Amino acid sequence: MSIETKKQRMEKLVKMLNQAAKAYYQDAAEIMSNYEYDALYDELENLEKELGLTLSDSPTVRVGYEVLSELPKERHESPMLSLDKTKEIESLKEFLGNQKALISWKLDGLTIVLTYRDGELYKAVTRGNGEVGEVITNNAKVFKNLPLKIAYKGELILRGEAVIRYEDFETINEEIEDAAAKYKNPRNLCSGSVRQLNNEITAKRNVRFYAFSLVKAEEVDFENSRKKQFEWLAGQGFEVVEHYITDVNDIEERVAYFAGQIEHFDVPSDGLVLVYDDIVYGQSLGRTSKFPRDSFAFKWADEIRETTLTQIEWSPSRTGLINPVAIFEPVELEGTTVSRASVHNISIMEELELGIGDKIEVYKANMIIPQIAENLTRSGMCKIPENCPVCGGDTQVKQVANAKALYCINPQCQAKHVKAFTLFVSRDAMNIDGLSEATLEKFIVSGFIKEYADIFHLDHYEEEIKTMEGFGEKSYNNLQKSIEAARNTTLPKLIYALGIANIGLANAKMICKELKYDIERMMYVTEEELCEISGIGEVIAKSFVEYFRNPVHVEQFKRLLLEVRLPEVKEDENAGSLQDMSFVITGSVHHFANRSELKEFIESKGGKVTGSVTGKTKYLINNDTESSSSKNKKAKELGIPILSEEMFLEMVKEK
């Protein structure tokens, strides 16, 4: 390859990498996999070394993009550099030499610089482009685990990562019914949450902060040790990233330990970080134009398997978005069998040049999410369907941010109805057993169901249903019993069941409570009135109001109200008796139908229910109070009371 050809290749690589970075960091979209990005980055870096040439816009010398938001901007006192990285343990050994270092998680969120003065949080600034960040002090004040006041009164500057745990990420995504609006990963959700103009939204997202570097603390002797700095920060009340001292003798064991934890680690991580424990030694090494020399990042060496692409499955959603899913011959990856991976969008399909029968390499991104690493055959782009696989209507490729996506443009597409009805009958909504997505699709195609109220009149088609494949006398009767039981519901569940964009069950409960369960008022409420409700922002208010502005929706809702029985809501004397108390529920329940019902009961009295026992948990509810389960053990370690249902109900009665 001639020098000129290599320069042209460099220009192409810079353009591709910058487009991918812009899509990922600014538009929360992905146009290539992490694996492909790393491979192209390494290729560019090697070409730069070979030619002694670095282009002005190369991602190897520029840290991030200029921030684009209405938040105030501020220049960092010193540039925040990214870390040099490797996937080889031998490189870590070379870095260590005869030094000791701290090894810790490399968290995948948003880097924040915090400043404390006189013992109080004074300022919080995002990393931004490494030189200029955004001031997000008000948002940092509502991070779930960040101390607002500390014992130390001097000026403290520290860095850390704002993250959203997988558990919270999944909960938030579950409440977003629009498939196209769901967040792709916790990092994108965290980035948007931290940079909100309204910190009420930030507060609802359960953002957490983990310290990973102390920049300045006047007149404190850390005995020239990073580990001592971490211990001191923990003593001030900060959650510090998990870390251990390591050297060349045990680095392999330490890396193996972290690798074994990643599958169960609830905080997003994309690798590990080494930093010399000897502060003076590390600082004496200085830095390059891009990297500090006292730190090194280790990215997981992906376990890659070769397999054959057998099919591209086109999966329609209720928004019309049709997602491509790669189906391939099953392979073992990171201890599990996988046979499918989301391709995300058409842009990635085009980049990979996917064709049926191609030999592909697959891996798990961050050892968790199946992805296609490379297409070894590249036989050519699969044909994009011109017709929706469900309704047969026309499809259209649309440009969404920086990526191309396929949509069904038929407004009457059954898939759009199927997804909506699937939500309607789901457990947290109307809870109707016997109406799977496949069954709903059959009923819709047959003309039995055109709107929600029709579900309560399926008895009109008794004979037709009984003769359908998979149905008979018994299954039909069971379905009718479930439908009849579903008539007894609550207004929040009914509102949630409508599938209004951005309205989850928790939001529906808040709206119903604040509007005093007044259905008429609910249908004609304004955006301004909804925005006055704590926890309800402009996006949610707009979605709710726009739904009921549609006269078709209003008429359908009124017909639906005729089919259900809603309880009279009385003012609960004990409402708020569990205010600000955090509960964890485990094991089977007896007094409530299920744990979801117990969760609703706690929330109705102002409490909240989380999935794991932490220092902030007030009570663990488990009928087997002497159980040796992990949650019971954790509660006992932290001194958290374990209550049976009887004990819990007695406690509530007394409040």
Q: Counting Cβ atoms within 10 Å, is residue 339 exposed (0-12), middle (13-18) or buried (19+)?
A: middle
Pairing mode, strands 305-316 and 208-217: unpaired
Which strand (E) or helix (H) includes residue 522? helix 519-523
Alpha-carbon distance of 60 to 13, in angstroms, equals: 11
> Which residues are within 8 A (CB) of 33 and not within 5 positions of it... i.e. 6 or more apart?
348, 365, 371, 372, 373
If you ran DSSP here, which 8-state letter would residue 581 be given? -
If you ran DSSP here, which 8-state letter would residue 128 be given? T
Six-digit token string for 80: 């925040």
Closest CA to 573 of 653, 508, 475, 504: 653
Closest CA to 92 of 349, 299, 267, 396: 299
C-beta of residue 241 within 8 angstroms of C-beta of residue 229 = no
Q: Residue 400: what are its φ and ψ, rounded to 5°?
A: -115, 110
Alpha-carbon distance of 507 to 492, in angstroms, equals: 9
Task: Please report the sign of the dihedral spanned by the C-alpha atoms of residue 474, residue 477, residue 482, residue 485.
Answer: negative
Residue 473: other Cβ atoms inside 10 A:
9
Closest CA to 412 of 432, 376, 388, 378: 388
Q: What is the 3-state secondary structure (H, E, C) of 531-551?
A: HCCCCCCHHHHHHHHHHHHCH
The backbone region for 392, taken as left when phi is positive above 0, alpha when psi lies in -120 to 50, beta otherwise, is left
Q: What residues are annotated to the active site?
A: 106
C-beta of residue 448 within 8 angstroms of C-beta of residue 454 = yes
Tally helices (H) and strands (E) across the chain.
24, 22
Six-digit token string for 258: 């972290």
CA-to-CA separations, 73 to 63, 121, 133, in angstroms, rounded = 16, 18, 6
Pairing mode, strands 295-298 and 85-86: parallel
- Sheet containing strand 619-621, strands side by side: 608-610, 582-585, 619-621, 642-643
- Give the type of residue at 330: P
> Could you tell me the end-to-end alpha-carbon distance of the chain, in angstroms, rounded to an integer?
79
CA-to-CA separations, 413 to 15, 177, 395, 404, 642, in angstroms, rounded = 38, 17, 11, 21, 51
Task: Please report the sign of the dihedral spanned by the C-alpha atoms of residue 11, residue 14, residue 18, residue 21.
Answer: positive
- Give the type of residue at 36: E
Six-digit token string for 104: 């810790």
Closest CA to 522 of 579, 456, 584, 569: 569
